[in-house]
Amino acid sequence: MNNKLKNKLYDKSFYVVGLFATLFGLIVLLTLLIDITIDGFSRLGWQFLTNYPSRKPEAAGVLSAWVGTVWVAALTVVVAFPLGVSAATYLEEYSKKNWLREFIEINISNLSAVPSIIYGLLGLQLFVRGLNMDRSVIAGAMTLAILVLPLIIISTREAIRAIPTTIREASYALGATKWQTIRNQILPAAMPTILTGTILAISRAIGEASPLITIGALTYVAFLPTSPISLEFPYISLKGFFDPFSVLPIQIFNWVSRPQKGFWIDAAAGIMVLLIIVFFMNGIATYLRYRYEKRIRW
């Protein structure tokens, strides 16, 4: 009888313990958000977004950092998206179940868990030194593209796998070739989910600091990369690719490592800007997933 009571007690109390353990992370997240808002809200404003970093904490801003983040993120997508989707398409639609596929699969799964700072070491030696890109936007973007590639491949494969075989069979029955089926049926149908995965991967890239610190991205930048569009001939310029840059996480790291309290306020305000970008992207990704999950019924 005593034993029975004890077992019942354990069982009931696990509802509470389990719920608390699950909510624990969220409680911490809430504390973190409140703490950062209290610390940084006073600094946040138009000036903060349009000023360069400065020796005076009150005058410092994140202009070069957020512009650098936009540059690097945009270039990262351009490199990683086509490569990732092609790789996933091959693995799902073409490759046979043999040792080669298994080898590539193990490899991708392992790459997705390699510490991000290791990618920084690769980028430093390969892009910065080897290809002489120096500490430029393009070197940073290539490094991050390699970092997020496994994530894009994994999520794209899941998206393609979710498309039912009947779609393929119907397309073949109408005389379409394999590539026509992939291009006209499979990829368009899988695209919302592929985009969700890609947005999440880029949002991860935006938050990365360590690989870019390792390749030598600057922590104090008082200029912007050359604009890609100009009013003079030839109107388009790629010079910005080769300019030095900083990004938001590095700027935040720089401020938080200073001893002066004034810069900690800047760091908190910088974090608010970074979190708004990251949460916004995650929001879009979640919305896309939710919307298409609801609409499509195979």
Task: Using alpha carbons, list the distances in angstroms from residue 284 to 149, 200, 267, 289, 290.
Answer: 20, 9, 26, 9, 10
Q: How far is the CB of 236 from other proteins (least distance, A)?
A: 27
Q: Which one, of 11, 296, 47, 31, lies nearest residue 163 by Cα?
A: 296
Six-digit token string for 117? 């700072």
The nearer residue to other proteins, 68 or 120, going by C-beta atoms, is 120
Q: Which one, of 263, 266, 209, lies nearest residue 42 by Cα?
A: 266
The nearer residue to other proteins, 240 or 248, going by C-beta atoms, is 248
Cα gap 8→289, rounded to integer Å: 40
Q: How far is the CB of 165 from other proteins (least distance, A)?
A: 18
The nearer residue to other proteins, 216 or 228, going by C-beta atoms, is 216
First to last CA, the chain: 53
Cα gap 294→136, rounded to integer Å: 43
Q: In the chain, what is the greatest distance between 2 CA atoms, to the nearest angstrom?
A: 90
- In a 13 Å sphere around the CA of 245, the CA atoms on its Cβ side amount to 31
3-state secondary structure of 136: strand
The nearer residue to other proteins, 75 or 202, going by C-beta atoms, is 202
Six-digit token string for 220? 């104090």
The nearer residue to other proteins, 189 or 202, going by C-beta atoms, is 202
The nearer residue to other proteins, 12 or 56, going by C-beta atoms, is 12
Cα gap 177→175, rounded to integer Å: 7
Q: Which residues contact 281 (CB under 8 A, 6 or more apart)?
A: 199, 200, 202, 203, 206
Q: Which residues contact 71 (CB under 8 A, 6 or more apart)?
A: 137, 141, 225, 240, 245
The nearer residue to other proteins, 192 or 207, going by C-beta atoms, is 207
